Structure 1
Amino acid sequence: MTSRKSRWFETPSSGFGYAGRFYLKVFQSLQQEESLALDATLPPMKTSWFLDEKKHAAWMSLVNYDGTAPQAFTFSAPAGVWALMQVLKEIGISFSRIMHMSSRLLMLHPEGFRVNQHYSTYVHYLGARPHSKRAVLIRFQSVVKDVTGRDVMTLEDELYVAGLDEDFVASLNLTEEPLPKRRAKSELKDNSLADRIPLTISRGMGQKYGKLSGDLNPLHISTLGAKLFGHKKSFVQGLCTLNLIIARLGEHWNGSIRSMDIEFVRPVAQPSTPTLVCTLDHFELLDKEGNLLVRGQYIYG
C-alpha cells in the first residue's frame, strides 16, 4: 500500500492527511456500490492552521506584492489533485489524467487573511457529474473561518479525472447534464482597450508557490507531473496560477480582489512569461503565440 506521507504536505496550511481522508470517504462509497453523487453521508472535513509572519512575508516577497489592500490569496487550498491522485491509486481506481478545471473564489471579510491568526478550513463534497464515457468532474467547496467562527473565504473547485473504465463511470449512476462548452480561444487578445501585463513565472517559483499557497499538488510544478500529463516541460496550473493572477491584478488596480471565477484551459509553462490581458472585470492569460491558457472574471475594490 502506498504511503501518503510526503514532505510536500508538511506545511501549516496544507496537510495531506485530512484531504486524503476526505477523498477516501468519497471513493469508499463507490466500493460500497453507492453513487458518487450521494454526499449526504459525507460530513465536511476540518483542518486548523496558523498564518505566521514568516510564511506571510515569504509569500509577499515571492509575488512582489507590497500593496496595503488585503489580497484573496488561497492560503488554505485543500482540494489538491495530488491528494486525489494518491487516493485513487491507493484504493485501486485506474485513471490516466487528472487536472484542475475551474475555481470560484469569494472573500467574505474585508480584512482578508491576517498575520498571526488561527484559521479553520472545512471541505465539503458537492458531488460529481459525467464529463464523457471515461471521465468525470468532481466538485468540492472549502470554507475558511477565523477563530470567532466568521467566514473569511469560500472556494469551489472542480477537478477532472479521465481515463477511467467505461463500466466504472456507468456504474456511478450520475445524472446526465449538458456540459457548457468551454471556450478555448481568446476573446480579449484583439481588444484595444484591454491592459496587458507580463507575468513572469521563473524557474523554481512553482515549487515555492505550491508550498506557500497551501495547494496540495506539486504536480503543477514538477517534471514528473509534466510527463504524467504528456508535457515535456514543467508547468503551473490550478490554484498556483490563480494566486499569481490575483497578485498581479491587485498590483495593477491597487485594490483587493474580492471574488474571482477562473477556468484553467491549458497548463502554464514554467519558466515562461505569459501575458495577462485584463479589462475592468475580465481577464485572460495568453502565451507568446496568443494561445489561451486561463480565462475568468473578477471583482475588485
Structure 2
Amino acid sequence: MTVNWLDLDTPPHLTALYAHAASKRKITGDTLPDKGLRCWVAVDAKPLEAFREVCDLPASSLLPPTYPHILAFGLQMQLLTDQAFPFPLLGLIHLSNQIRVLRPMGSVSQLRIGVYAHNLQKHPKGATFDVITRVDDLIGPLWEAQSTLLCKGVDLPGEAHQPATPVAGGMTELTRWYAAKDIGRRYAKVSGDYNPIHLSTASAKLFGLPTAIAHGLWLEARTLAALSSHLPAANVEISVDFKKPVRLPAEVILQSSAGGSSGDFQVNGHPDLVHMVGRWRPLS
C-alpha cells in the first residue's frame, strides 16, 4: 500500500477531535483513505509516570511496550475522525492488537509517530480494518503496532472470513487483580481516551451497555505489567485478541505459560469468562 503522508508540526488537540467524533454517527462509504499522519512527539516524564501508576507498571529505564499507543492516540483520533474516513469513531469495536518491539525502548525523548488505516475486510457483523502505527527514534524504526477494529453495519461484497484464535495450553495462574469501578476514568486521564463506554454506568448505558467496561489497552498494559519478568524487552511480537469485555468493577485472573522467548497468556473473569487471550513470540 502506498501511503500519502501528511506531516504535522504539533500533535492534534483532542477536545476538537472529540467534537468531530460526537457529530458523526453514520457510515458514509466503504473505502479507506490512503492518507497517513506523522508527527514528532515528546516523551515527558510526568505523563509516563502517571501511566505507569494506573497500569501498575514497575519502574524501568525502558518505555512500557504499550506506551507508544498513548503517544499516538491523538494522531489515531485525527485519522479516524477525518471527513474522508467512512466510519463513525463512536461504536468501533477493538478486536485485536499486535505490538512489535524492534529495539530496546530506552533513552528516548523524541519519537516520530506515523498512523494510517488499511486492509478493509468483510466480517460476519460488518467490516474490519487495521490501524497501523509506526514509531521511529533518531536512529530508525523502533516500534510498530496493528490494531484491528470492527465497524458494524458495513456491507462489503464477497464472503466473510474470521480467523480462528490460536488455542494455547500449559498455562497456570500467575496472579489476579481487581479492576476498580473508576479505572476507566483513571485510564482516560492518562490516555486521552474518554469513550463514554469506559467512564461510568450512566454513560455506558447510553450505548446499550449495562455498566462501564475497562479499556482494552488498559487491560493489555496491566497484563504486560504482570508479565514483565516473563517477556523479552525487545525483538518481540506481542499479540492479543479481545474477547468478553471486563465489566467494572471486577476481579480478573491471569494465566500464563513460563517465561522465555515465547509464551502464551489468558485473562479470565467470573464466571468462566475469557476477557483476552494473547501470546508473545520472537520477531521473525
Q: C-alpha separation between the residues in 2 aligned to 1:45 and 1:276? A: 36
Q: Distance in 2 between matches of 1:142 and 1:161?
A: 19
- Structure 1 runs not aligned, ≥5 long: 1-11, 24-29
TM-superposed CA distance for 1:248, in Å, is 1.2
Taking structure 2 as the reference length, what is the TM-score of the superposition? 0.74
Q: Would the alpha carbon gap of residues 96 and 153 (structure 1) be closer, same or farther in structure 2, given more than 3 Å must change? A: closer
Which of these residues, 251, 256, 276, is aligned with residue 233 of structure 2?
256
Counterpart secondary structure, 1:60: helix
Aligned partners of 1:92 and 1:137: how far apart in 2? 12
Q: Cα distance 1:140–1:243, how it changes in 2: closer, same or farther (>3 A)?
A: same
Amino acid at match of 1:138: F
User: Cα offset for 1:178?
Assistant: 2.3
Equivalent residues in 2 for 1:176-215, closer than 5 Å: 176=159, 178-182=161-165, 191=170, 194-213=172-191, 215=193
Give the match for residue 98 of structure 2. Answer: 104
Matched, 1:54 2:46: yes
Structure 2: tracts of 5 or more residues without a match:
1-9, 22-26
% identity of equivalent residues: 17
CA contact (8 A) 2:51 2:190 kept: yes
SS in 2 for 1:210: helix
Residue 138 of structure 1 is aligned with which of 99, 110, 129? 129
Match of 1:154 among 135, 144, 151: 144
**Distance (whole Å) between structure 2 residues aligned to residue 36 and residue 123 of structure 1:** 17
The amino acid that maps onto 1:223 is T
- What residue is the counterpart of 1:72 in the other structure? 65
**Dislocated runs of 4+, deviation >6 Å:** 17-20, 88-96
The match for 1:36 among 21, 31, 34 is: 31
Deviation at 1:85, TM superposition (A): 12
Cα distance in 2, alignment partners of residues 293 and 47 from structure 1: 33
Q: How big is each residue's C-alpha offset from its partner over 1:32-90, in whole Å with a ceiling of 9 and x where there is no partner?
A: x7x515x5xx231123322211112222233333354633123334468x949984999
Higher RCO structure (Cα 8 Å, ≥6 apart): 1
2:269 equivalent in structure 1: 287
When the two structures are aligned, how many residues end up with a matched partner? 262
User: TM-score normalised to the size of structure 1?
Assistant: 0.70
Q: Is the contact made by 1:14 and 1:216 (CA closer than 8 Å) also made in structure 2?
A: no
RMSD: 4.1
CA distance in 2, matches of 1:53, 1:94: 33
Alpha-carbon spacing, 1:153–1:265, altered in 2? closer, same or farther (3 Å): same
- The change in CA–CA distance for 1:175 and 1:118 in structure 2 (over 3 A counts) is farther
**Cα distance, 1:174 vs. partner?**
5.0
Q: Distance in 1 between matches of 2:233 and 2:180?
A: 24
